[in-house]
Chain A
Amino acid sequence: MKAIEVNNLTKKFGDFTAVNNINFDVKQGEIFGFLGANGAGKSTTIRMLIGVLEPTSGDAMVGGYSIMNDSEMVKRHIGYMSQKFSLYNDLTVAENIRFYAGVYGLDGKKYQERKQWVLKVANLENMENMLTSSLPGGIKQRLALGTAVIHEPKIVFLDEPTSGVDPVSRRNFWDLINDLSDAGTTVLVTTHYLDEAEFCNDIILINAGRLVAQGNAKALKTNYIKNPILEIESDRVVDSLEILEKEKWVGETSIFGNYIHVILNDDTITEKNITQLLYEQNGIKIKRIERIIPTLEDVFIHLIEKDNK
Chain B
Amino acid sequence: MLFIIFFFPVVLLIIFGYAINFDVKHIKIAVYDQDKSDYTRNYINGLISSDYFDLVTYVEDSDEIKGLLDEKVVQAVIVFPNDLSKKLMSKQDVKVQYLIDGVDGSTASVIQNYVNAATYAYSIRLTKEYLAVHGKNIYVPIDLQPRFWFNPELQSTKFLIPGLMGMILIVTAVISISLSIVREKERGTIEQINVSPLSSLEFILGKTIPYIFISLINATIVLAAGYVLFGIVIKGNIFLLLFATMVFLFAALGLGIFISTVADSQQVAFQAANVTSLLPSFILSGFIFPIETMPNIIQVLTNITPAKFYVVILRAILLRGAGVSAFWEQLIYLGIFGTIFITLATIIDKRSRGKN
Cβ of B191 < 8 Å from any Cβ of A?
yes
B196 pairs with A104, CB closer than 8 A: yes
> Among residues 196 to 254 in chain B, which have CB atoms less than 8 Å away from a CB atom of chain A?
196-198
Cβ of B95 < 8 Å from any Cβ of A?
no
**How many angstroms from the CA of A85 to the CA of B187 in the assembled complex?**
9
**How many angstroms from the CA of A72 to the CA of B129 in the assembled complex?**
93
Cβ of B193 < 8 Å from any Cβ of A?
yes
Cβ of B353 < 8 Å from any Cβ of A?
yes
**How many angstroms from the CA of A75 to the CA of B353 in the assembled complex?**
15
**How many angstroms from the CA of A86 to the CA of B185 in the assembled complex?**
11
Cross-interface CB contact of B188 among A75, A82, A103, cutoff 8 Å: A82
A86-B188, A86-B189 given as contacts; is B196 within 8 A of A51 (CB)?
Answer: no
> Among residues 121 to 163 in chain B, which have CB atoms less than 8 Å away from a CB atom of chain A?
none
A53-B353, A53-B354, A53-B356 given as contacts; is B197 within 8 A of A104 (CB)?
Answer: yes
> Among residues 317 to 353 in chain B, which have CB atoms less than 8 Å away from a CB atom of chain A?
353
A86 pairs with B191, CB closer than 8 A: yes
Number of interface residues of A (CB under 8 A): 22
Cβ of B194 < 8 Å from any Cβ of A?
yes
> Which residue of chain B lies nearest to A77 when distances are taken between CB atoms in the complex?
B197
Cβ of B49 < 8 Å from any Cβ of A?
no
B189 pairs with A88, CB closer than 8 A: yes
Complex interface: chain A residues within 8 A of B353 (CB): 52-54
> Which residue of chain A lies nearest to B184 when distances are taken between CB atoms in the complex?
A88
A93 CB to nearest B CB, Å: 15
Complex interface: chain A residues within 8 A of B356 (CB): 13, 53
B192 pairs with A86, CB closer than 8 A: yes
Cβ of B195 < 8 Å from any Cβ of A?
yes
**How many angstroms from the CA of A84 to the CA of B192 in the assembled complex?**
10
**How many angstroms from the CA of A50 to the CA of B197 in the assembled complex?**
11
Cβ of A61 < 8 Å from any Cβ of B?
no
Complex interface: chain A residues within 8 A of B91 (CB): none
Cβ of A89 < 8 Å from any Cβ of B?
yes
Instruction: Type the 1/0 row for A82-107, where 1 means its CB is closer than 8 Å to any CB of B.
Output: 10111111000000000010011000
A156 CB to nearest B CB, Å: 11
Complex interface: chain B residues within 8 A of A85 (CB): 188
B64 CB to nearest A CB, Å: 65
A13-B355, A53-B356 given as contacts; is B189 within 8 A of A75 (CB)?
Answer: no
Complex interface: chain B residues within 8 A of A100 (CB): 192, 196
Cross-interface CB contact of A103 among B187, B193, B354, cutoff 8 Å: B193
Cβ of A80 < 8 Å from any Cβ of B?
yes
Cross-interface CB contact of B195 among A13, A52, A54, cutoff 8 Å: A52
Cβ of A78 < 8 Å from any Cβ of B?
yes
A102 CB to nearest B CB, Å: 9
Cβ of A2 < 8 Å from any Cβ of B?
no
Complex interface: chain B residues within 8 A of A72 (CB): 197
Complex interface: chain B residues within 8 A of A54 (CB): 353-354
Cβ of A171 < 8 Å from any Cβ of B?
no
**How many angstroms from the CA of A76 to the CA of B356 in the assembled complex?**
22
A52-B353, A54-B353 given as contacts; is B195 within 8 A of A78 (CB)?
Answer: yes
B196 pairs with A103, CB closer than 8 A: yes
**How many angstroms from the CA of A13 to the CA of B351 in the assembled complex?**
12
Cross-interface CB contact of A76 among B191, B193, B197, B354, cutoff 8 Å: B197
A53-B354, A53-B356, A54-B354 given as contacts; is B195 within 8 A of A84 (CB)?
Answer: no
Complex interface: chain B residues within 8 A of A86 (CB): 188-189, 191-192
**How many angstroms from the CA of A30 to the CA of B194 in the assembled complex?**
25
Instruction: Type the 1/0 row for A19-53, where 1 means its CB is closer than 8 Å to any CB of B.
Output: 00000000000000000000000000000001111
B193 CB to nearest A CB, Å: 7
B197 pairs with A80, CB closer than 8 A: no
B7 CB to nearest A CB, Å: 20
> Which residue of chain B lies nearest to A14 when distances are taken between CB atoms in the complex?
B355
A13-B355, A103-B196 given as contacts; is B189 within 8 A of A52 (CB)?
Answer: no
Complex interface: chain A residues within 8 A of B189 (CB): 86-88
Cross-interface CB contact of A52 among B187, B188, B191, B198, cutoff 8 Å: B191
B325 CB to nearest A CB, Å: 44
Complex interface: chain A residues within 8 A of B192 (CB): 80, 82, 86, 100, 148
A46 CB to nearest B CB, Å: 10
**How many angstroms from the CA of A148 to the CA of B192 in the assembled complex?**
8
> Which residue of chain A lies nearest to B354 when distances are taken between CB atoms in the complex?
A54
> Among residues 107 to 157 in chain A, which have CB atoms less than 8 Å away from a CB atom of chain B?
148
**How many angstroms from the CA of A141 to the CA of B194 in the assembled complex?**
19
A80 CB to nearest B CB, Å: 4
The residue among B191, B193, B353, B355 with the most chain A CB atoms within 10 A of its own CB is B191
A84 pairs with B194, CB closer than 8 A: no
A86-B191, A87-B189 given as contacts; is B196 within 8 A of A75 (CB)?
Answer: yes
The residue among A51, A52, A89, A100 with the most chain B CB atoms within 10 A of its own CB is A52
B194 pairs with A52, CB closer than 8 A: yes
B195 pairs with A51, CB closer than 8 A: yes
> Which residue of chain A lies nearest to B193 when distances are taken between CB atoms in the complex?
A103
Complex interface: chain B residues within 8 A of A148 (CB): 192
Complex interface: chain A residues within 8 A of B195 (CB): 50-52, 75, 78, 80
B5 CB to nearest A CB, Å: 16
For this complex, 12 residue pairs linking A to B, each with C-beta atoms less than 8 Å apart, are: A13-B355, A50-B195, A51-B195, A52-B194, A53-B353, A53-B356, A75-B197, A82-B188, A84-B187, A84-B191, A89-B187, A103-B198
> Which B residues are within 8 Å of any A CB, using their own CB?
187-189, 191-198, 353-356
Identify 13 new A-B residue pairs, CB closer than 8 A, beyond the known A82-B188, A86-B191, A86-B192: A52-B194, A54-B353, A54-B354, A75-B195, A80-B192, A82-B191, A82-B192, A84-B187, A84-B191, A86-B188, A86-B189, A88-B189, A148-B192
3 smallest beta-carbon distances between A and B, as pairs = A86-B192, A84-B188, A80-B195
